[in-house]
Amino acid sequence: MSHVISTPADRPADTLTRLRRLHRAELPLATAALARYLIGKVLVREHADGRSSGRIVETEAYPPGDAAGHAFRGATRRNRALYLERGHAYVYFVYGSSYMCNVTSEAAGVGAGVLLRALEPLDGIDVMMLRRGISRVCDLARGPGRLAAAMAIDRRCDGIDLCAAGELWLAAAPRAAGPIARSVRIGITREIGRSWRFYERGNPAVSGPRRLRA
DNA sequence: TATGCGATATTCT
DNA sequence: GAATATCGCATAG
């Protein structure tokens, strides 16, 4: 970054993208339908650093009964939030380095969700750059671990209601989404072959190898 | 551009 | 003790 354009504290509220919070009733109940529905919607983080947000451009569904899903072997302390009513955050830590942010799906008690894999940064881009230590905008939240890092999402966000005012919430699409494509999921060893990954075709903020972005 | 590898810590077996 | 819904760097083509 050659120069700083503004800091969050300086930024007037009227330069932020106008966003409307999603109502839970708008969220599809079924996991794959929700995963597709979330493409183009916005994840918003209200933090001491100011607001950061991004368009969701890549998701993966982990439906009921999916052997790759964390609820497959029943409830544990880690996956507890996954059983909440749809529209809650399920955040967990993996690989000793990355947090993953999911949106719960289905009815309360079922145990299923949608992994948020990538965002196209919208507001608070300078804060995201500071958090990530890089300046290329399309790489800030390209991949689930990077997404969480860019948005300062950690285990404290686990269980948050994303349909309520708070530190983390979901907003309606600020503009129409581009064509939505689907593919197999990334980084799993079971149920490979299921086409439960959704993404906005051609968006440079989508993760994965080229063949899974076209 | 693609593939491979190590780092890392939490959870579950 | 094993596995892991990843990342970033290294190396080869």
Please state which CATH number belongs to domain A19-212: 3.10.300.10
Whether A6 has a pLDDT exceeding 80, the answer reads: no
A175 strand B contact, CB < 7 Å: no
Separation between the CA of A174 and the C1’ of B10 (whole angstroms): 37
Q: How far is the CA of A25 from the C1' of B6 (A)?
A: 45
Domain boundaries defined on chain A: 19-212
Chain B, protein-covered positions (CB within 7 A): 1-3, 7-13
User: Measuring from the CA of residue A92 to each C1', which nucleotide is nearest?
Assistant: B10
DSSP A78-127: TTGGGGSPTTBEEEEEETTTEEEEEEE-SSTTS--EEEEEEEEEEE-HHH
Residue A136 identity (one-letter amino acid): R
What is residue A7's predicted lDDT score, i.e. its pLDDT?
47
Q: How far is the CA of A101 from the C1' of B7 (A)?
A: 22
Mean pLDDT of chain A: 93
Q: Which nucleotide is nearest to A70 (CA to C1')?
A: C5
pLDDT digits (tens, 9 = 90+) for A157-193: 999 999 999 999 999 999 999 999 999 999 999 999 9
**Residue pLDDT, tens place only, A64-112:** 999 999 999 999 999 999 999 999 999 999 999 999 999 999 999 999 9
